[in-house]
Every structure is written in structure tokens, then in C-alpha cells.
Amino acid sequence: MSYDANGNMIKDLDRDIVTIKYNLLNLPELIQFKNGCQIKHTYAAGGQKLSSRYITVNAGVYQPLNPGQVIENLDVNENDNVTVDGMDYIGNIEYQIYRYFDWDVTFEPAELKYIFRVHNPEGFAKNTTTTNGPIYSYYRKDHLGNNREVWRASYTWGSTTHPAATVQRTQYYPSGLPWKSNSGDNPGSQPYKYGGKEFVEMHGLDEYDSDDRWYYPAIMRTTTMDPLAEKYYDISPYAWCANNPINAFDPDGRDWIMNKEVVNGVTIYSFTVNGVLYNNSSDKNIDLDKLAAGLTNQISSIYNINKGDMVITMDLNLRVVNSVEDIKETDHVFQVVNQESLRNEDNKKVTANADKYGLNINIGTDLARDIISGKNSRSGAHELGHTGGLYDANINARGVDRLRDNLMTQSVYLQDREINPNSATQLNGHQINTIFENRNNVNQRTQVKTRPTTFFIRDGKLITNPVKYLSK
């Protein structure tokens, strides 16, 4: 293997890869194989994959290639020596591509494109010419979000009804490399496998597209460096899930999230929150960098806990964005909104609200200024607790003493009893376990699935309209 100055693998002769070219985000744009075959990808400015092209040289006229050599403008030709197929990705819609030489009409290369699959984390709808529309398939996942089985609903083709069936079952090595797959249909027809990520086998590549990086499970290493490598000086920047893929998963190729561990009687929780801070208010004078620092400080101070028999660590990666195009589907969205727009069911003013089990946290402009000035040191952490599935403590808890220190007690409840809300920052073991269980389930499934219904753009602004959990 060889690497460039940015730490990107550019050659792997074990797989006959002679050259890999990368874009500015260190994502592979072109993979050149020794026999002349190629894989090409295009990406949006934010790194989202837009298309893949798999170019196959049927006649060995170009082989063998030397390391570093690239065939430019390789396309179909009239001698059928080269064929091209692939996918276009528009949101969660996949378009099948097949390029061929049109002998009958134009006598030039032509391209077929049609909707092949509408995909989401729970399954997919496959377009076909059946009498009852698409064929629906659903995933059965394990605790890490790996797609273990694909269950296909019944469908009708012509006059024949095919019953529901399990059409794909995949077993994995701990690294995520599939070692056994049996299927009544073509096993390769469903490429989303380990961690729910697309497994690209074409030309012997055998890598997972993990969004910000590509992962080669045969050696349990990525082909580029971890963008967050400076957070983990004791771990290789090419390591996957801190070399512990049995108990950890990586949702986007940037950061790994640890499952709960019990070591020598100590329960260890590790939380990782990848989020963005976006100003969707009319007040453009709010310093988002200072607000991000304030939110990071209060959340980190509250969620990093050592109680002897229970240890909690929280890593908050909060980046400031100026456009909704820079927001990923898996991001927590800390959104600054006009204060007057935050109201409860009684039309009373609230400082912030959040999606229960969701990703969105709305911060009013008044609260944003209080966090920047240091007047508020808990509300961001309080709302984050709601996204982890916690209720307001004063709704169900019994006894005032239990509420005095609890982070999830509403500020107005404490103020009415002449208690400083900033002093109520504690979470008990039950709450921590609730957040952990809900975050794992939501991160892998619910959050991404529900984002289209809770996250959209109107007049150039980010709009959220879910069932909110209100905080006074």
C-alpha cells in the first residue's frame, strides 16, 4: 500500500489497485485497477455521494497498468470492449444507470436511467413492472445496526403471487466483512450491510462507503485518516471503532460510539453527539462561535460523570454552519430561532424546546444570549436530555427533594420555589441508561427515518414541525 501526503491510500497492489484519486474532502473520485477497470464517484460540496460509475474493460487491451497510471476518458466503445453501469443518488432515491453504444439510432454512446430503489434505514422499495407496484423489503438488524436479514413482502407478478419471504441472510466477521450469505434472490441485489452502509464489491474493491471515509473490513482499517484523529492520540487514525467493532459502531466514518460496558463492577457509558449550530432567527448578530463554546462547556460539564460504580463520558462535536446544505441527516441540529416563536400549548413563552427522541433542539434568541454571557449553564443540556427520551422531572417524579438537583426539572418549577435553576444539573443512573438505550435505537433507526418529516426548508430557512417537548 502507498499513501499521499494527506494520508490517503493511493495504491493497493494486493487488490490490483494501481491509482486512487481524491477530492478536496479526501473522498475517492477515481479508483484505477491494473486490468483497466475503473470506479468513479462524484460528490456534492458537503460530501454526499451523487453518483457511482463501474467501468469494466471486457477485452484486455489496456492491461496491465503500472502504479500511478490512469486511463483518461475511458467510456463505452463500438467494439463492446468497455461497458459502464452504476447508480445516481438523489436523496434516498437510487437511479440505475447502464451506458451502451447505440448502433441503431445515434451510433454514439447512449445511457439508460431509471428509478431502481427508494432506500431508507428500515428497508427499501424496489421499482419493477409488477401488477401491484413496487416490491417492499425490510431489514432485520442486530444491536450495532447491521442488516442481518432482508425480509421481502409478498408481491404479484402478472398472475402469480409470491409470498413474503426472507430473501437475504448475511453473517459477518467482527470487522464487518461478510463471510456467509444465502439468498433466494440475488444476494448482491441488496448492498447495504454492515452498519447499514453500502458494500461495494465491484472489481474486488470490497469496501464500505461510510460517508466521510471508506472502510476496508478485510484488514479492519479505513483507507483515509479519521477527520477527528486529534481527539484520539492513542488510537491509529485508520482504526475502525477504536479496534472494538463488537461493542462500538461508527455512524458516519468520523466518530465511533461505544456501547455500554461493565468493567470490574463499574458501568461505563460513552456518548458521542455530532451536531451543528445554525441561526434560523432574524437576529444575525448572535455570535454562533461563542454560543457553540457555551453549549459545549455546559453539556460536557454535566454529562461527564464519575460516581464510582458508574462512569459517563460525553463527546460533543458541534460545528457552526451557515447553510442547511451543510447539515447531515444524522446531525443533532441546535437551531437558534426567534424567541417569540417558542410557545407552549397555553401560548406562554418558553425559552427552548426539543424533539422527543429526535435530533432538533430549538434555542430562543434570549436563551442564546444568556448562554453566551454565562447566565444560563443548563438549558442546552436539559434539551439534549429530551432528545435522548427523558421527560421533564417534575411531571412524574415524587417529592420536591428529588427535583431540586435534577437536570430535567423545569426552570420555572425551580424558580417558583426560589431555587436557582443553574444549580440543578444532576442525572441519576436510570436517566443515564434511558438516554443510552434511546440514543442507540434512535441513532440507528428513528432519527434518520423521521428526519424527512421533521426537517425541511421553507423560504431558505430550516423549519421543524414535530411534536415538541417544551421547557419554560
From residue 30, how far is each of 23, 55, 250 by CA, in Å?
9, 11, 24
pLDDT, residue 230, reads 74
Q: Does residue 441 surpass a pLDDT of 60?
A: no
Summarize the confidence of residues 227-234 as an average pLDDT.
74
Distance CA 373, CA 371 (A): 5
pLDDT one-digit tens code per residue, 398-413: 444 568 889 998 888 8
Distance CA 181, CA 148 (A): 9
Summarize the confidence of residues 369-398 as an average pLDDT.
84
Strand-pairing partners, residue 85, are 54, 98
Peptide bond between residue 64 and the one before it cis (omega within 30 degrees of 0):
yes
Q: For CA atoms 201, 202, 204, 205, give the dihedral sign.
A: negative
Summarize the confidence of residues 242-268 as an average pLDDT.
74
Please write down the long-range contacts of 52-55, taking CB distance under 8 Å and 24 or more positions apart. Answer: 52/86, 52/87, 52/89, 52/200, 53/84, 53/85, 53/86, 53/97, 54/84, 54/85, 54/86, 54/202, 54/203, 55/82, 55/83, 55/84
pLDDT, residue 414, reads 87
Q: Does residue 440 surpass a pLDDT of 60?
A: no
Q: Does residue 59 surpass a pLDDT of 80?
A: no
Give the torsion through C-alpha atoms of 341, 345, 349, 354, to 10 deg.
-70
Q: Check if the beta carbon of residue 179 is closer than 8 Å to that of residue 173.
A: yes
| CA-based end-to-end distance of the chain | 57
Least confident of 16-30, 145-159, 292-306, 456-470: 456-470
DSSP strand pairing (198-200 vs 93-101): unpaired
The three three-digit cell numbers of residue 202, written as one number: 465491484
pLDDT, residue 394, reads 67
pLDDT one-digit tens code per residue, 197-228: 999 999 999 999 998 899 999 999 999 998 87
Tell me the percentage of the chain whose pLDDT exceeds 70: 79
Task: Name the 3-class secondary structure at 133.
Answer: coil
More confident residue, 461 or 180: 180
Distance CA 55, CA 71 (A): 11
More confident residue, 435 or 397: 435
Q: Does residue 463 surpass a pLDDT of 60?
A: no
Q: pTM for the complete prediction?
A: 0.59
Distance CA 315, CA 104 (A): 60
Q: Check if the beta carbon of residue 363 is closer than 8 Å to that of residue 306.
A: no
Q: Which option is the CATH number for 260-471: 3.40.50, 1.10.1060, 3.40.390, 1.10.10?
A: 3.40.390
Q: Does residue 267 surpass a pLDDT of 80?
A: yes
Residue ranges of alpha helices (H) inside 235-359 are 288-303
The three three-digit cell numbers of residue 91, written as one number: 436523496
**Side chain identity, residue 107:** F
Cite the residue boundaries of each domain of the chain with CATH code 3.40.390. 260-471
Task: Name the 3-class secondary structure at 157.
Answer: strand
pLDDT, residue 262, reads 76
pLDDT, residue 367, reads 94
The three three-digit cell numbers of residue 272, written as one number: 458521542
